[in-house]
């Protein structure tokens, strides 16, 4: 039959009203059950031809549907934090002592409001490793720089505590020099104390200052403060995975949502986001807690002055010349220009004869091997057979 469904129904109810028509046979001819036939007949009597149109199957009431106030609260929080999903929204509502539906209900509210991104392919989660206590390790790196409308580029410097994910530094830097990093670290050290170690990559300003020496003036300053400097494997950003993940969050929730006028604009907005990230934003890796819940300042305070470099009495002390090398046992040993005018300590290695260990403060930085055949005069040797980090 080429007629429309509405036409068939209309014809059906008109025929069903005729005197002497067998209703059961008529239903069989039109391919409907007696129950459906009576339904169309009742609807036609009640509403005329318009009653024959299909009606929505949506229930008249839904007692389990979220209230308008809960829906409004979820959508308002989502509007203020466009990158948050159902879990973060639920946890933040709980922290604010507001009615908090389940995470799946929050997600359903976002879906009904068409606020969900397209489904992403399933990815196997990374196995997480973290230090046992706050301040055992900080991760430090520069986020990719970006242009401002005024011209100067912004180089965000970030420092994250490995245990708690607490963001200690979020600085709108004008460059990536050691001096800039030092100026950004000093306020953090004064407020939160000194960590045991800081993990960096191998780029400037904490690496590659010298093709032979792996240390820079910045890392030497940190070692003088008693902070060990660690370097990740080259071309292996997963070593600093927590800070890299923070960079992704920073771009998604802050950097991509502003048109940055100048560095002053960045310096104004960065602290606001840092407070929100540390104290308001639920963190999935912390079970929905905020980082501030898991962080506490270091018991090691920043000293008012750099500690004096001292060595035990049995150490042989050498002051490094400006060229970065010193003479020992008639041979020239290169340690790096970053140590110029600073004292280093030498002691015989307890592990092998003919070898000496080279210390800066209490950090072992290299070795001298005298067990081989003597070298010609004016030959320069390196104390770094491999990266000591």
For the residues 150-171, what does the mean pLDDT come to?
95
Last residue of a domain, one of 260, 294, 328: 294
In a domain, residue 127? The reply is no
The confidence band for 57, taking pLDDT boundaries of 50, 70 and 90, is: confident
**Predicted pLDDT at 389:** 41
Provide the pairing of β-strand 153-161 with 167-173.
antiparallel
Least confident of 56-70, 133-147, 158-172: 56-70
Q: Are residues 72 and 183 in the same domain?
A: no
Residue 381 has which token pair? 């040797």
Task: Give every CB contact of residue 215 below 8 A, 6+ residues apart in sequence.
Answer: 209, 223, 229, 336, 338, 339, 365
Tell me which range, 73-77, 174-178, 349-353, is most confidently predicted by mean pLDDT: 174-178
Q: Are residues 202 and 287 in the same domain?
A: yes
Q: What range does the domain containing 103 cover?
A: 68-112
pLDDT digits (tens, 9 = 90+) for 289-326: 999 999 999 999 999 999 899 999 999 999 999 999 99
Total domains present in the chain: 4
The confidence band for 147, taking pLDDT boundaries of 50, 70 and 90, is: very high
Q: Are residues 290 and 146 in the same domain?
A: yes
DSSP-based helix, strand, coil % in the chain, nearest 5: 35, 15, 45
What is the distance between the alpha carbons of residues 245 and 183, in angstroms, rounded to a whole number? 24
For the residues 131-158, what does the mean pLDDT come to?
93
**Predicted pLDDT at 65:** 65
In a domain, residue 129? The reply is no
Q: Are residues 147 and 290 in the same domain?
A: yes
Question: How many Cβ atoms are within 10 Å of 65's Cβ, its own excluded?
Answer: 14
pLDDT for 387 beyond 50 = no
Q: Are residues 267 and 348 in the same domain?
A: no
Q: Are residues 281 and 321 in the same domain?
A: no
What is the distance between the alpha carbons of residues 115 and 70, in angstroms, rounded to a whole number? 16
In a domain, residue 118? The reply is no
pLDDT digits (tens, 9 = 90+) for 123-138: 555 455 678 899 999 9
Provide the pairing of β-strand 331-334 with 325-328.
antiparallel
Q: Are residues 206 and 290 in the same domain?
A: yes
**Predicted pLDDT at 293:** 94
Percentage of the chain lying above the pLDDT 90 cut: 50
User: Does residue 355 contact residue 372 with C-beta atoms inside 8 Å?
Assistant: no
In a domain, residue 16? The reply is yes
pLDDT for 2 beyond 50 = no
**Predicted pLDDT at 124:** 52
**Predicted pLDDT at 11:** 87
- Distance between alpha carbon 34 and the CA centroid of its chain, in Å? 64
User: Longest C-alpha distance within the chain, in Å?
Assistant: 127
User: Does residue 272 contact residue 278 with C-beta atoms inside 8 Å?
Assistant: no
In a domain, residue 131? The reply is no
For the residues 160-188, what does the mean pLDDT come to?
95
pLDDT for 236 beyond 70 = no
**Predicted pLDDT at 105:** 87
**Predicted pLDDT at 386:** 53
In a domain, residue 97? The reply is yes
pLDDT digits (tens, 9 = 90+) for 78-90: 888 888 888 888 8
Q: Are residues 167 and 35 in the same domain?
A: no
What is the distance between the alpha carbons of residues 30 and 28, in angstroms, rounded to a whole number? 5
In a domain, residue 251? The reply is yes
pLDDT for 268 beyond 90 = yes
Q: Are residues 159 and 262 in the same domain?
A: yes
Least confident of 55-59, 100-104, 262-266: 55-59
Handedness of CA 155, 160, 165, 166 (dihedral sign): negative
Reduce the DSSP state of residue 157 to 3 states and report it: strand
Greater model confidence, 387 or 349: 349
Q: Which CATH number covers residue 227?
A: 3.30.420.10
In a domain, residue 311? The reply is no
Q: Are residues 148 and 212 in the same domain?
A: yes
The confidence band for 237, taking pLDDT boundaries of 50, 70 and 90, is: low
Q: Are residues 279 and 324 in the same domain?
A: no
Q: Are residues 85 and 146 in the same domain?
A: no
Backbone angles phi, psi at 306, to 5 degrees: -60, 130
pTM, whole model, 2 decimals? 0.71
């Amino acid at each position: 039959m080429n007629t429309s469904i509405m036409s068939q129904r209309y014809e059906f109810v008109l025929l069903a009203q005729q005197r002497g028509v067998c209703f059961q046979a008529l239903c069989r001819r039109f391919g409907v059950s007696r129950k459906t036939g009576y339904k169309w007949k009742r609807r036609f009597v009640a509403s005329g031809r318009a009653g024959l149109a299909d009606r929505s199957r949506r229930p008249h009431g839904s007692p389990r549907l979220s209230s308008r106030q809960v829906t409004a609260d979820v959508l308002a929080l989502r509007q203020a934090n466009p990158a948050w999903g159902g879990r973060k929204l639920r946890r933040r509502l709980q922290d604010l002592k507001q009615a908090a539906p389940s995470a799946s209900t929050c997600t359903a509210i976002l879906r009904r409001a068409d606020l969900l991104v397209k489904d992403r392919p399933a990815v196997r989660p990374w196995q997480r490793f973290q230090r046992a206590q706050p301040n055992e390790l900080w991760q430090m790196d520069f986020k990719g720089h970006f242009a401002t409308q005024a011209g100067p580029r912004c180089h965000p410097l970030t420092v994250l505590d490995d245990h708690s994910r607490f963001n200690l530094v979020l600085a709108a830097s004008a460059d990536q020099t050691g001096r800039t990093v030092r100026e950004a670290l000093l306020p953090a050290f004064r407020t939160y104390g000194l960590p045991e170690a800081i993990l960096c990559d191998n780029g400037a300003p904490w690496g590659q200052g010298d093709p032979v020496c792996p240390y820079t003036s910045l890392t030497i300053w940190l070692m003088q403060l008693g902070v060990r400097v660690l370097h990740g494997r080259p071309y292996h950003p997963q070593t600093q995975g927590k800070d890299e993940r923070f960079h992704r969050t920073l771009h998604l929730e802050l950097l991509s949502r502003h048109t940055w006028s100048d560095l002053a604009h960045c310096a104004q907005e960065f602290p606001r986001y840092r407070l929100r990230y540390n104290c308001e934003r639920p963190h999935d890796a912390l079970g929905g807690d905020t980082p501030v819940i898991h962080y506490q300042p270091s018991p090691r305070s920043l000293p008012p002055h750099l500690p004096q470099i001292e060595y035990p009495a049995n150490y042989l002390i050498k002051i490094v010349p400006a060229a970065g090398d010193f003479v020992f046992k008639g041979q020239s040993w290169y340690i790096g220009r970053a140590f110029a005018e600073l004292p280093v300590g030498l002691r015989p290695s307890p592990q092998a004869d003919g070898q000496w260990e080279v210390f800066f403060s209490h950090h072992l930085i290299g070795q001298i091997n005298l067990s081989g055949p003597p070298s010609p005069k004016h030959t320069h040797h390196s104390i770094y057979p491999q990266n000591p980090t």
